[in-house]
Amino acid sequence: MTTAVPVERAPHRRLVRAADGRALGGVAAGIADHLGLSPVLVRCAFVLLSLAGGAGIAMYGALWALVPQAAGGARPEGRAQIVALGAVGLGALLLLAAAGLLSPRVLPLMAATAGVALLWHQADQAQRSRWRASASGRRGGLLSVAVGLGLLVLGLTGFLASIGELGRAREGLLSTAVVVAGLAVLTGPWWLRTAHDLRAERRERIRSQERAEVAAHVHDSVLQTLALIRKAAEDPREVVRLARTQERELRGWLYTPTTPEQAAFAGALEQVAAEVEEAHGTTVEVVVVGDCPTSPTLLAVVAAAREALVNAAKHSGAATVSLYAEVTDDRVEVFVRDRGRGFDPAGVPADRFGLTQSVVGRMERHGGRAIVRSSAGQGTEIRLEVGRG
Amino acid sequence: MADPAPLRVVLVDDHRLFRAGVRTELAGEAGLQVVDEAETVPEAVALIIATQPDVVLLDVHMPDGGGRAVLAGVGEAAPRTRFLALSVSDAAEDVIGVIRGGARGYVTKSIAAGELADAVRRVAGGDAVFSPRLAGFVLDAFATSTPVPDDAPPADHADLDRLTARERDVLRLIARGYTYKEVASELFISDRTVETHVSSVLRKLQLSNRRELSRWAADRRFG
């Protein structure tokens, strides 16, 4: 009937009650999952054990109470559970009838039992809906708590009435109620304070975890860099490079959007800019408008931009290079500009071989183009352009 | 006007070291005088209202609300004072936030001394100052809107959400690292026209009824 679901075994798995695929409390399904058996088999075992003087029922109850529930159960009660509950109720009735115990005295007790079961069940449910973080189950939860309590009170009252002890019990109940009320008044503030303290402690724990995370990051990055800067104090270029690298890293940590798809083409360009900055000690100001996923062509654009940046860093003598990229629906443009010494593009010197090969050639091979604008004393701007799609 | 009175500048920043640095940098610049400094929001508001400076260099990030809170606190009480935002922050929300709060420009704290002085003079003269990064933010924010034709009748309200093609050109050049002067010669227009375009973009940024801006900000939430 049911095939055993292959489960991935993690080492030291704890037994948990199944949240999905359960019939009653998820005990049998949980055990089946834990042992790699079919749930049907486990359920049959419970039924057989129940026939042996009710041991199965006792075991089931104990496991229900003691074994924690699996996290993340998403499905609310289904028809299977209603059927299972009905079957259990009917079975209990039949059992009592067979034993000749189905007297008016027992009925109220059964109602009370049902009430208790409902309350227990609701405790499970409350845990599940906390995991689901949904408020939808809350009203239903309150309702079933009320019904459960009602059944319990009704059942107990009925039982007491049926054995003729209601009058005495009323006196007892009254005095108990007075005592409970007194205790509540006496200890109420203490309870409130405890609840409040618990909440406060939880908040504090979350805060201190966050603080620990920030401290760890600051230690690994900023403090280390400051130590390096102190050591490199004699070398201003190195100090600038360290500070700039650290600034970039910290900015990334603080401000980068966490969504992964944001880090495609723009991310690749920023990465390249960071590398050039690191290798050559020239500041690269990056501004990117728009973004898109990378492709072989766009990776070639990134590589060409990198070469242009390296050229500017090596030859222009400028302290700052601007990198601007714009992604529109139909094309991608990248501008690399410096205000350095510039050169005459018509007579590209031999050491600018990289420019013609790695930049212009690469762009043309990928169906784009590169335009170099430069004149002595005016700096250089290299424009890379390629269509999209 | 051979030697006009120097521009009076107030520094607002919660870092003492940074204020000292800017003071030293601006000390060498002719025509600028740092008259006072403040390090908290309430202090800054009181100081600005009391001294009515020409330009306030305003830190974006400070406790108690930062630059935006200072702008809100001063309100109309210093009508002649212009604000220039100065920040290490790259968060678009913060930058756009102070601009919408009334700042006439935004530059990063890594700006060179000479350029900072230029920016102060420009803001004092009523112009807007866009760093490449701010230009990039604006282009990004208005990227989804179709450009307004340049010969369209002067902006009615709907056009506050869109840039003209010319404004876009100017912003793109600024984002590429061009100075206003270089932008002007690149586009064959006068320096004055560049400034007009930039001021117009600033106005749109401040007045647009947020449609484009809020969509953009929502797309680009910083985690």
- A135-162 residue pLDDT tens: 445 566 778 788 888 888 888 888 877 7
Q: How far is B140 from chain A (nearest CA, A)?
A: 5
| Amino acid B49: pLDDT | 92
Q: How far apart are CA A273 and CA A290, in angstroms?
A: 17
Note the pLDDT of residue B158.
53
Backbone torsion region of residue A342, taken as left when φ is above 0, otherwise alpha when ψ lies between -120 and 50, otherwise beta = left
List the single residue in A320, A328, A335 with the smallest CB-CB distance to B176: A335
Contacts of B177 in chain A (CB under 8 A): 285, 320, 322, 324, 335, 337, 339
Cβ of A285 under 8 Å from any chain B Cβ? yes
Span B32-37, average pLDDT: 89
Q: How many angstroms separate the CA atoms of B17 and B23, rounded? A: 10
Higher-confidence residue of B218 and A291: namely: A291
Q: How much is the mean pLDDT over chain B?
A: 82
- Count CB atoms within 10 A of the CB of residue A288: 21
Reported ipTM: the value is: 0.78
Determine the residue type at B205: L
Q: Look at residue A138 in the predicted model and tell me its pLDDT.
A: 58
Instruction: Assess whether pLDDT exceeds 50 at residue A114.
Output: yes
Residues of A in contact with B113 (CB under 8 A): none
Distance of alpha carbon A85 from alpha carbon A253, whole angstroms:
53
What are the respective helix, strand and coil percentages of chain A, to the nearest 5? 65, 10, 25
Q: What is the largest CA-CA distance in chain B?
A: 52
pLDDT higher than threshold 50 for residue A260: no
The Cα–Cα gap between A303 and A295 comes to: 12
Please check whether residue A222 touches B, CB under 8 A.
no
Residues of chain B contacting A255 with CB distance shorter than 8 Å:
89-91, 222
- Residues of B with CB below 8 A from A283's CB? 110
User: A29 to chain B, minimum CA–CA distance in Å?
Assistant: 40
A143 exposure class (CB count in 10 Å sphere: 0-12, 13-18, 19+): exposed
Angle value at C-alpha B7, between B3 and B10, nearest 5 degrees: 160
**Chain A / chain B CB contacts < 8 angstroms:** 53
Q: What pTM does this model have? A: 0.59
How many Å lie between the alpha carbon of A365 and the closest alpha carbon of chain B?
25
pLDDT > 90? residue B83: yes
Using a CB-CB cut-off of 8 Å, the residues of chain A touching B143 are 289-290, 328
Percent of chain A with pLDDT over 90: 7
Q: What is the pLDDT of residues A301-343, one digit of tens each?
A: 998 899 889 888 888 888 889 999 998 888 899 999 988 888 7
Q: Does A279 score more than 70 pLDDT?
A: yes
- Provide Rg for chain A, Cα atoms: 37
Which of A 311-370 lie inside 8 A of B, CB atoms? 320, 322, 324, 326, 328, 335, 337, 339
Chain B contact for A287, CB < 8 A? yes
| CB-based burial label for B9 (10 Å; 0-12, 13-18, 19+) | buried
Residue B54 has pLDDT above 90, yes or no: yes
3-state secondary structure of A198: helix
A256 touches chain B (CB under 8 A): yes
- Neighbour order of strands in the sheet with A331-338: A283-289, A320-327, A331-338, A379-387, A369-375
> Are A285 and B132 a contacting pair at CB < 8 A?
yes
pLDDT over 70 (residue B146): no
Interface test with A, best of B95, B176, B185 (most A CBs within 10 A): B176
Range name among A264-278, A290-304, B154-168 with the lowest pLDDT average? B154-168
- Which pLDDT belongs to residue A134? 45
Distance from CA of B176 to the nearest CA of A (A): 5
Query: Which residues fall within 8 angstroms of residue B139, CB to CB, at 6 or more apart?
Result: A289, A326, B168, B171, B172, B175
Question: CA torsion, points A278, B118, A380, A263, in degrees to nearest 10?
Answer: 50
> Pick from B89, B139, B221: which is nearest to A289 by CB?
B139
Handedness of CA B130, B134, B136, B138 (dihedral sign): negative
Q: Is A300 helix (H, G, I), strand (E, B) or coil?
A: helix
- Inter-axis angle of helices B16-27 and B113-124, nearest 10: 80
CB A69 within 8 A of CB A32: no
User: How far off is chain B from A358, nearest CA to CA, in Å?
Assistant: 22
What is the pLDDT averaged over residues A6-22? 65
- Whether residues B220 and A381 touch (CB distance < 8 A) is answered with no
Specify the DSSP class assigned to residue B160: G
- In angstroms, the CA A119 to CA A153 distance is 12
Q: Hey, are the CB atoms on A285 and B143 less than 8 Å from each other?
A: no
Angstrom distances, CA of residue B202 to CA of A48, A111, B164, B220: 81, 74, 13, 21
Inform me whether the C-beta atom of residue A385 falls under 8 Å from chain B C-beta atoms.
no
* CB within 8 Å: A337 and B177: yes
Encoded amino acid at A171, one letter: E
Tens digit of each residue's pLDDT (9 = 90 or more) over A85-109: 788 778 777 877 777 766 767 777 7
pLDDT of residue B56: 93
CA dist A100 to A44, A47, A95, A103, Å? 26, 21, 9, 8
Per DSSP, what are the bridge partners of residue B164? B148
The span from the CA of B98 to the CA of B217, in Å, is: 14
Query: Which of B220, B127, B218, B120 has its CA nearest to residue B170?
Result: B127
Q: So what's the pLDDT on residue A107? A: 75
Q: Between B22 and B91, whose confidence is greater?
A: B22
Flag if A287 and B136 touch (Cβ within 8 Å): yes
